[in-house]
Structure 1
Amino acid sequence: MFQSFDSKSSPEIHPPRLADLRRELARRDLDGFMVPRADAHQGEYVSGRDARLAWLTGFTGSAGFCVVTPDQAGVFVDGRYRVQVKTEVDLAHFTPVNWPETKPAIWLAEALPEGGRIGYDPWLHTRREITELEKALTGSGIALIAQATNPVDTIWPDQPEAPVGPVRLWPDALAGETAAEKRARIAADLRKAGQHAAVLTQADSLSWLLNIRGADIPKNPVVQGFAIIEENGHVAVFTNPAKFPGEVRAALGNEVQILPLEALTPALTNLSGPVRLDAGTAPDQVFALVESMDTEIAEGRDPVIMPKACKNPAEIAGMRAAHLQDGAAVSELLCWLDAQAPGLAAAPLTEIDVTRKLEELRVARGILDISFDSIVGAGPHGAIMHYRVTEKSNRRILPGDILLVDSGGQYDNGTTDITRTLPMGRDYDIGVRRPYTRVLQGMIAISRAQFPRGVAGAHIDALARAPLWSEGMDFDHGTGHGVGAGLSVHEGPVRISRVSDIPLRPGMILSNEPGYYREGAFGIRLENLIVLREVESPDGRDMLGFETLTLAPLDRRLIEPGLLSGEEIGWLDSYHARVWDEISPLVGPEVRDWLYLATRPLGRLV
């Protein structure tokens, strides 16, 4: 199985580590240190070696950071993790801090006297992060001090080794372009901008550019490394060469060099400018090394990010195919869960049981790995937005529980991510139905949206929230994230959120996942993946809309039909007709019979 369920480490082991870190900071004449949930590639998921935040604090969420001072240790988390953090850290030693409402500079100014020295690892923070924090600290007398070695690493005696996952080729037929064609396209972009080279620091950018996939990060098939692409299309990759078998090296050709990571520093200090660096993704140390030789820097977005975000027809076809298999597996799970519900009182079923069953069904469908740790939250656990079940937290599913299942797979042709919420039996609180229906309306609003080219995620985010807002409700996460094609399930830079100003473009794949969470009671989230496409306009405007990729039934037992408009019912019935047409041929007779009932038109039942 792909997901482990080790017992959660006791928080009592973390305070001694905090004390060790404070002693190390005092030895370095530092008044504090910032510990981010990040590695040098700024990916959302990190290897065991880079899991410093979890090792120090016990917090395992995918975003956040800790600021340690002699007297305080603030764990900064956003709305997704405010319930989770309280269950994972020792609250006698670590203090959860609501972020971004509380700015780190303001917190530091209150926590430290004037003249305080805050250390940071320049490989783990982007140039933009450091610049903005330094600006915010102006006048406080507090200085940021880059550290040549990370003090957490110094006190971590059994820190894991860096990953050495084998590299494999991603087929050109699925990529839609050869690696040589991609290199030529990016090189042409550099020449047009008058730039000699660009430094790529994100693992998925490197993987996409060279049509390779790796195994350095669990559930994210990326190759960790840095790369320099020059205006002539030549690429130098800096990583552990042992990861590249002979057939991969041969396929990449002579225009791609594979060099050890130790060669990166001399390469950066010997570049001719202008050099494109992305202040939002490149480590502060990369900027510092290029600047050390007075080389001209042209700040700009990683040249791979937007081509990677806008999937071509071959990539979209692969994603459609992956969603067919995944939709069959999820439908099989939903059928199985309905069959278990009547016997829950006599035959115990747990969150781990559901997680393992779903993985078993996906394995039968050819999954290579899951795309993230499955979120299977029953009752109050569903209100923990990024809940991850462990042996210690594993909850028995009770009759009447609301069950939230958020999961995804890495297939040999694409990446999936889907969330469904359902009642376990008939004895659920009917008060769940109204918020469930409002969440469903938000999903439908995004699915049906049409808008002019140039509209950004921030412009349509409110469509998903408006039905909830009408009831005085909301949710504390974005409505949607970008998704890679056979890459990271969370892919930048595009999002559907209040703060995303990046215009949406054809080919972008996003999640559509509004939710509602009542702490201590239940959670609701519904999620499909959607792809942007051009749509016809009667007056010739350049318009965009969405095609839904995910194919699995949405539970209708929790719907208040009277709250839905005719157009919303029409969308739901049309979607379920698609699910029936495309998934029913892929499943066995028992699941097909269940699917027939699950996808009946709602309009006929109102």
Structure 2
Amino acid sequence: MNLIRLQALQTELEKIDLDGFLVPHADEYQGEYIPPHARRLEWLTGFTGSAGLAIVNHSESAIFVDGRYTLAVRQQVKHFKPYNSKYYPPKKWLSQQPVSKIGYDPWLHTPNELKALQHSAEIVGSQLIACEHNPIDKIWLDRQPPPVEPIVIHPICYSGEISWSKRHRIGAILTERKIFATILTASDSIAWLLNIRGNDIPRVPVPLSFAILYATGITDLFIIPRAIDAKLLKHLGKEVNIYSLTNFGSALNKLANQLVLIDPKQTAIWIVNQLKTIIEGTDPCILPKACKNETEIVGTKQAHLLDGVAVTKFLHWLDINNTDEIQAAQKLEQFRRESNELCDLSFDTISATGSNAAIVHYQPTEQSNKQLYSLYLVDSGGQYLYGTTDVTRTIAIDPPTAEQKACFTLVLKGHINIATCCFPPGTSGSQLDVLARHALWQAGLDYDHGTGHGVGSFLSVHEGPQNIS
């Protein structure tokens, strides 16, 4: 099937005079989690991870993933040569290919990403060419339509701060910097800013949207048209204007002569190209969203208490039942749903035993499902109106070996080092990360993924800017 799709894309590229095409795991909102209709990389290659890039060429096609997915990509993908992007990034691959014209979808790449790829292509005389239409969409005949789920109010009893206050707080920062407006492309930032939630992305309770936040606090919200009830309009107030997504381009054009803030890590190059005077910086919602207020802290604790009851029941059940990866994941979800307060899982449960547990972000299927043995890794979480959880446990199903005990102890030392560390203001996550890995390094060991990340408040289970990596 994947070979047929690859060949169909190559044929389509010939029709539009292109030698190759970039296929990222991305949608126009540049989020980590994307809805089914935007999973072009998965449709083309079979790769289900949350980060990656394929480059389709007539001679050789390649797929690049980070260290979390090096095992998974080899299991899931055929007809594409896999690379670990840390050691052999796409820009290096491009610089070693024959002269060619490679297309890309300007909605699916940020300026930062494209700049590095463009430079590498130019070294060998190749060109990166923006495509008006994504050629994959023409051959993906059973592609789902974009999601259009209801937008709901996230009340003050959970958010702890009204939207007007958030908008004017950030607007004051823009005013101080003499910035007219900022373009918001991250759906979780917009959901946080306006105190709204949705269900457009599986496991992430947000509506897909763009927004323009002006220094005055006025906000233009752009969404796929859907029913908007009177309660939501009253909640948003007169300073929030709702427009169809089709009006976004013309709204950007009206900002042509104004100084506009964009986040080059989160904004599609298509959006940047519509603006004339920009200043680059971090999405101004990211830091205040990460700094939880008292209400959100209380809510997070409440979510973990409720979630902890479900996990404890599950661990007891696991002690007395012989089961497999899929049944275990289903049982854990069942315990979570017993409270009637679970809105959804915060991500698909990672239920992995034995060798499968070495595959970071592994998802059991009917083909890969194993009876639990050796060590069992379960990484799971829940979405509650008052908080989001992410809990990982490693359970010895069989008596652990000496090697497993030694490795487990080294990881535990890293946890203790991080948990007991006193550090001055300004210390970065990358500096703390050394403490987590030190004992492993001393034994000649390491792990090829991050150590820790922020978590949203009834938002995305992965939240920055803070991380330990």
TM-score normalised over the length of structure 2:
0.97
Task: Give distance in 2, aligned partners of 1:306 and 1:353.
Answer: 39
Q: Deviations over 1:480-510 (max 9, x none)?
A: 122111100011222111xxxxxxxxxxxxx
Q: 1:408 aligns with which of 373, 378, 381?
A: 381
Task: Give distance in 2, aligned partners of 1:174 and 1:453.
Answer: 29
1:45 corresponds to 2:4: no
Task: Give distance in 2, aligned partners of 1:78 and 1:411.
Answer: 30
Task: Give distance in 1, aligned partners of 2:222 and 2:90.
Answer: 33
Task: Give distance in 1, aligned partners of 2:227 and 2:437.
Answer: 45
Task: Give distance in 2, aligned partners of 1:431 and 1:357.
Answer: 30
1:354 corresponds to 2:328: yes
1:105 corresponds to 2:107: no
8 Å Cα contact 1:236/1:258 also seen in 2: yes
8 Å Cα contact 2:158/2:385 also seen in 1: no
Task: Give distance in 2, aligned partners of 1:244 and 1:66.
Answer: 38
8 Å Cα contact 2:95/2:123 also seen in 1: no
Task: Give distance in 2, aligned partners of 1:470 and 1:422.
Answer: 25
SS of equivalent residue, structure 1 residue 451: coil
Aligned residues: 467
Q: 1:473 aligns with which of 445, 452, 456?
A: 445
* Equivalent residue runs for 1:267-346 within 5 Å: 267-271=251-255, 272-290=257-275, 295-340=276-321, 344=322
- Corresponding residue for residue 2 of structure 2: 14
- Corresponding residue for residue 67 of structure 1: 55
- Corresponding residue for residue 84 of structure 1: 72
1:364 corresponds to 2:338: yes
1:298 CA drift (Å): 1.5
8 Å Cα contact 1:164/1:243 also seen in 2: no
- Corresponding residue for residue 265 of structure 1: 249
Q: Deviations over 1:495-532 (max 9, x none)?
A: 111xxxxxxxxxxxxxxxxxxxxxxxxxxxxxxxxxxx
* Equivalent residue runs for 1:142-181 within 5 Å: 142-181=126-165
Task: Give distance in 2, aligned partners of 1:193 and 1:52.
Answer: 39
Task: Give distance in 2, aligned partners of 1:335 and 1:274.
Answer: 58
Output the amino acid matched with 2:433. D
1:139 CA drift (Å): 2.6
1:28 CA drift (Å): 1.1
1:421 CA drift (Å): 0.3
8 Å Cα contact 1:362/1:409 also seen in 2: yes
Q: Deviations over 1:418-473 (max 9, x none)?
A: 11001114x44332111011111111211111100000101100111011112111
Moved more, 124-133 or 277-286: 124-133
1:117 corresponds to 2:87: no
- Cα 1:250–1:241, aligned 2, differ >3 Å: closer, same or farther? farther
Q: Deviations over 1:371-398 (max 9, x none)?
A: 0010010111111111001122111124
1:138 CA drift (Å): 3.8
Unaligned runs of 5+ in 2: none
Output the amino acid matched with 1:70. H
1:243 CA drift (Å): 5.2
Task: Give distance in 1, aligned partners of 2:288 and 2:227.
Answer: 26
- Corresponding residue for residue 503 of structure 1: none
1:375 corresponds to 2:322: no
8 Å Cα contact 2:218/2:239 also seen in 1: yes
SS of equivalent residue, structure 1 residue 352: helix
1:246 CA drift (Å): 2.8
Q: Deviations over 1:548-601 (max 9, x none)?
A: xxxxxxxxxxxxxxxxxxxxxxxxxxxxxxxxxxxxxxxxxxxxxxxxxxxxxx
Q: 2:406 aligns with which of 399, 413, 434?
A: 434
Task: Give distance in 1, aligned partners of 2:143 and 2:150.
Answer: 21
Task: Give distance in 2, aligned partners of 1:100 and 1:20.
Answer: 30
- Corresponding residue for residue 486 of structure 1: 458
SS of equivalent residue, structure 2 residue 388: coil
* Equivalent residue runs for 1:174-193 within 5 Å: 174-193=158-177
SS of equivalent residue, structure 1 residue 247: helix
Output the amino acid matched with 1:375. I
8 Å Cα contact 1:164/1:240 also seen in 2: yes
- Corresponding residue for residue 393 of structure 2: 420
Output the amino acid matched with 2:90. P
Output the amino acid matched with 1:477. H
Q: 2:184 aligns with which of 200, 216, 230?
A: 200
8 Å Cα contact 2:303/2:389 also seen in 1: yes
TM-score normalised over the length of structure 1:
0.76
Task: Give distance in 2, aligned partners of 1:187 and 1:472.
Answer: 50
Unaligned runs of 5+ in 1: 1-12, 498-606
8 Å Cα contact 1:167/1:245 also seen in 2: no
1:24 CA drift (Å): 0.8
Task: Give distance in 1, aligned partners of 2:350 and 2:362.
Answer: 6
Output the amino acid matched with 2:316. C
Task: Give distance in 1, aligned partners of 2:96 and 2:174.
Answer: 45
Task: Give distance in 2, aligned partners of 1:192 and 1:472.
Answer: 50
Moved more, 164-173 or 317-326: 164-173
1:354 CA drift (Å): 0.5
Q: 2:202 aligns with which of 218, 225, 234?
A: 218
SS of equivalent residue, structure 2 residue 351: strand
* Equivalent residue runs for 1:530-569 within 5 Å: none
- Cα 1:61–1:416, aligned 2, differ >3 Å: closer, same or farther? same
Task: Give distance in 2, aligned partners of 1:87 and 1:94.
Answer: 12
8 Å Cα contact 1:169/1:248 also seen in 2: yes
SS of equivalent residue, structure 2 residue 274: helix
Task: Give distance in 2, aligned partners of 1:25 and 1:108.
Answer: 18
SS of equivalent residue, structure 1 residue 137: helix
